[in-house]
Amino acid sequence: MSGFDTGIDGIKTLIPLSSSVVFQGPPMSGKSIFAKNFFYKGLENQESSILITSNESAKKTIDWFSKNKMSLEKHSDRYGIIDCISLSQELDKASSDKNVSYASNPADLTDIGIKTSEYIRDLYKKGKEEKIRICIDSVSIMMMYSDTKNIFRFLHTFSGRIKSIDGTLLILLEEGSHEEKTLNIIKQIMDIQIKSKIQDEQKQLRINGNGIETNWKNYEIKQTKLKIQK
């Protein structure tokens, strides 16, 4: 494939190489489930994936994959998880730390960036550098600890990095948590927007940008993924 599978059941559109993607939606729209499935879909497609989580601990994330029978062990040479909250909140660490790094806190963007670069370097050493996915769940939480200027600089660096390696960057933004001006500053770095809304209890999404344009589509949240309703 010449692009990245979104992992959304019912959408065949591929995310072009070297694209940055923002998934913006309200609470309960399935953003975190989408991010986890997007991360894992890369592993299933023999790609490499890095998940940066400021939303939950690495232990909780790994437990989620295990509970849903999505084996990380068989892809151990292709992924990394960067946990941004366990150290600062004194949470339990994952039982296996082989593929997990711990940033000091969600505001330490330098530390997060260094750990991400280390994973990318390790993937290159293993010969797994083709089609790397970087997923951040979520930028909205990071923005609670850092100002917009620093977040913009952080994401701009990431976006440039994935363009240089034909990868993709996915970030999550919580609808209603930020001023429109702030959202526009962040979104100007992004090539593609996945927009979600809930109208009359019906979830809908559309994808726009970088040559992709879909109509609003009804969807539902399955246990491990989003599924378009026919």
pLDDT digits (tens, 9 = 90+) for 28-85: 999 999 999 999 999 999 999 999 999 999 999 999 999 999 999 999 999 999 999 9
Helices (H), the chain: 31-44, 58-67, 86-89, 109-125, 139-142, 148-164, 180-187
pLDDT at 14: 96
pLDDT band of 155, cuts 50, 70, 90:
very high
pLDDT band of 1, cuts 50, 70, 90:
low
pLDDT at 2: 83
Instruction: Count up the domains in the chain and report the number.
Output: 1
- Which phi and psi (to 5°) does residue 61 adopt? -65, -50
Q: Enter the pTM of the model.
A: 0.96
pLDDT at 46: 93
The boundaries of the domain holding residue 165 are: 3-228
Contacts of 167 (CB under 8 A, 6+ apart): 17, 18, 131, 132, 133, 134, 161
Average pLDDT, stretch 182-204? 95
End-to-end CA gap in the chain: 25
Q: Give the CATH number for residue 106.
A: 3.40.50.300
- Computed over every residue of the chain, the mean pLDDT equals 94
Average pLDDT, stretch 188-215? 96
Strand duo 202-209 + 212-213: pairing: antiparallel
The share of the chain scoring above pLDDT 70, in percent, equals 98
Q: What are the tens digits of pLDDT across the range 104-148?
A: 999 999 999 999 999 999 988 887 667 999 999 999 999 999 999
